[in-house]
């Protein structure tokens, strides 16, 4: 397809991947597609109970986009079957089952976000309940007969939990089989996901063989660290940057990423080639480039990508204004208030602070300011006067402009 040779396609597609099982299979599939003119089917399993897409997902989507640009087709498998059953194993969160309607709403939200990165014309959405629901117990048991418990326990996650005496539920094995069966149902060519999915993908590969299909290529991408630089990016860790977050949020969150993982953001998100990043890194190490500047560039690039060049520039200026020069942001929510103002109740009702006790705590620690002057602690903090347009600031990031009635 297009003007690129199979070899060139392969080079592009295999760049930056974490696992590729196997390179030869991918080459063969590309070759076949090239000859028959039939696009490859790229599968991606989406969890409809978590419709928020963040930069961690984007690492995969960008790779999928490359496939699309080479003429291939992406299929999102919405895991509505499992979502509608619910997952009782979650120790922390009790994942309650979703209704059909909720799944549909989430799937639509999902698609909208995905369209920011992928080409909608080459993106298909399917629901796995369509083929999982009709399976009989007989068929499920037969699927189970293809694998041994020892094979299942090979999965890193299971192994750790088993060793750590953390419960592993039987249905988790079954879920792994179902993900694999999705691949059979679709007869897909490539399955894509994060590095932690490799095991599931390999199960799919084996299962396809059992069904006499050409086994899928398993392609995983490196996991992007969250803004804490530690755990992988995820909503539950609250260390994520959503693709639909506001430009301001995105910019701020990127700036809070530790320097050590900044390179991953640059390279995993295709904002720099490894060579380009190496050059930036060298500049930082030789102290000709300030790491902050490199991060500002990064934040600007990401905002530009997910919003617009104009926003990117604006956000950068705004950031420098607020945090480098410590000025108030140019856009602040305004509230008309009347005096005297019960500060604690006001801050809580405005949602700036969780509770009145916290207001007290913040006051004690000089964390609430009026026009950059810390408000002194008192048991019943009351504002008796202020200049019209004065700026109330809570911590580093929350601002509110006060207007007189």
**Residue 350, interface with RNA (CB under 7 A)?**
no
**Residue 94, interface with RNA (CB under 7 A)?**
no
Instruction: Choose among 350, 392, 343: nearest CA to 370.
Output: 392
Nearer to RNA, 36 or 92 (CB): 92
Footprint of RNA on 295-324 (CB under 7 A): 295, 319, 322-324
Question: Positive or negative CA dihedral for 342, 344, 349, 352?
Answer: positive
**Residue 155, interface with RNA (CB under 7 A)?**
no
Q: Which of 51, 79, 193, 252 touches RNA (CB under 7 A)?
A: 252
Task: Please choose, out of 73-81, 171-179, 212-220, 349-357, the segment that lies near RNA by the rule CB under 7 A.
Answer: 349-357
Q: Which of 102, 206, 228, 350 touches RNA (CB under 7 A)?
A: 228
Q: Which of 17, 105, 348, 383 touches RNA (CB under 7 A)?
A: 348
User: How many Å separate Cα 325 from the centre of its chain?
Assistant: 31
Nearer to RNA, 32 or 356 (CB): 356
Whole-number minimum distance, CB 175 to RNA, in Å?
16
Footprint of RNA on 254-283 (CB under 7 A): 255-259
Instruction: Give the H/E segment covering residue 262.
Output: helix 259-268
Nearer to RNA, 92 or 136 (CB): 92
**Residue 181, interface with RNA (CB under 7 A)?**
no
Alpha-carbon distance of 141 to 156, in angstroms, equals 24
Whole-number minimum distance, CB 306 to RNA, in Å?
16
Q: Which of 99, 124, 395, 404 touches RNA (CB under 7 A)?
A: 395
Alpha-carbon distance of 46 to 114, in angstroms, equals 11
Edge-to-edge strand order for the sheet containing 217-221?
19-21, 217-221, 190-194, 41-46, 73-78, 123-127
Alpha-carbon distance of 224 to 263, in angstroms, equals 10
Nearer to RNA, 5 or 230 (CB): 230
Distances (CA, A) of 174 to 74, 145, 213: 25, 11, 21
| Token couple for 279 | 């050059």
Q: Which of 330, 349, 357, 382 touches RNA (CB under 7 A)?
A: 357
Q: Which of 101, 136, 150, 165 touches RNA (CB under 7 A)?
A: 165
Alpha-carbon distance of 280 to 274, in angstroms, equals 10
Nearer to RNA, 151 or 256 (CB): 256
How far from each other are the two terminal CA atoms of the chain, in whole angstroms? 67
Asked if residue 198 lies in contact with residue 219, where contact means CB atoms within 8 angstroms, the answer is: no
- DSSP symbols for 120-184: GGGEEEEETHHHHTT--HHHHHHHHTTS-HHHHTTSHHHHHHHHTT----HHHHHHHHHHHHHHH
Alpha-carbon distance of 210 to 218, in angstroms, equals 16
Nearer to RNA, 25 or 311 (CB): 311
Q: Which of 302, 352, 362, 400 touches RNA (CB under 7 A)?
A: 362
Q: What φ, ψ does residue 399 adopt, rounded to 5°?
A: -125, 150
Task: Please choose, out of 3-11, 67-75, 355-363, 382-390, the segment that lies near RNA by the rule CB under 7 A.
Answer: 355-363
Q: Which of 127, 199, 240, 251 touches RNA (CB under 7 A)?
A: 251
**Residue 39, interface with RNA (CB under 7 A)?**
no
**Residues contributing to the site for RNA (CB under 7 A):** 92, 162, 165-168, 228-229, 251-252, 255-259, 290-292, 295, 319, 322-324, 344, 348, 354-358, 360-362, 364-367, 379-380, 395-397
């Amino acid at each position: 397809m297009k003007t690129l040779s199979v070899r060139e396609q392969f080079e592009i597609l295999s760049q930056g991947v974490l696992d590729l099982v196997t390179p030869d299979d991918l080459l063969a599939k590309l070759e076949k597609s090239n000859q028959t003119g039939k696009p490859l089917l790229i599968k991606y399993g989406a969890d409809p109970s978590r419709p928020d897409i963040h930069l961690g997902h984007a690492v995969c989507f960008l790779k999928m986009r490359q496939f699309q640009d080479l003429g291939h087709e992406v299929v999102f498998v919405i895991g509505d079957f499992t979502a509608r059953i619910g997952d009782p194993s979650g120790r922390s969160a009790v994942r309650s089952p979703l209704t059909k309607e909720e799944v549909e709403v989430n799937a639509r939200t999902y698609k909208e976000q995905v369209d920011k990165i992928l080409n909608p014309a080459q993106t298909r959405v399917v629901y796995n309940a369509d083929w999982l629901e009709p399976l009989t117990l007989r068929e499920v048991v037969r699927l189970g007969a293809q694998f041994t418990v020892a094979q299942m326990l090979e999965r890193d996650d299971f192994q750790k939990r088993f060793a750590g005496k953390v419960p592993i539920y039987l249905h988790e094995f079954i879920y792994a089989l179902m993900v694999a069966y999705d691949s059979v149902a679709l007869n897909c060519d490539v399955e894509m996901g994060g590095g932690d999915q490799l095991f599931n993908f390999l199960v799919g590969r084996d299962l396809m063989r059992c069904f006499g299909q050409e086994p899928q290529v398993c392609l995983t991408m490196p996991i992007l660290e969250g803004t804490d630089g530690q755990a992988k990016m995820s909503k539950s860790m609250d260390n994520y940057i959503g693709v639909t977050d506001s430009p301001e949020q995105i910019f701020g969150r990127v700036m809070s990423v530790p320097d050590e993982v900044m390179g991953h953001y640059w390279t995993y998100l295709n904002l720099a080639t490894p060579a380009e990043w190496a050059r930036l890194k060298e500049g930082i190490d030789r102290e000709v480039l300030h790491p902050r500047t490199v991060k500002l560039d990064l934040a600007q690039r990401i905002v530009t990508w997910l919003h617009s060049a104009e926003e990117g520039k604006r956000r950068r200026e705004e950031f420098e204004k607020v945090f480098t020069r410590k000025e108030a942001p140019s856009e602040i929510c305004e509230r008309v208030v009347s005096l005297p103002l019960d500060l604690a109740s006001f801050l809580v009702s405005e949602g700036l602070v969780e509770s009145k006790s916290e207001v007290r705590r913040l006051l004690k620690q000089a964390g609430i300011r009026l026009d950059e002057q810390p408000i002194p602690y008192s048991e019943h903090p009351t504002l008796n006067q202020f200049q019209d347009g004065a700026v109330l600031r809570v911590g580093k990031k929350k601002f509110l402009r006060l207007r007189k009635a």
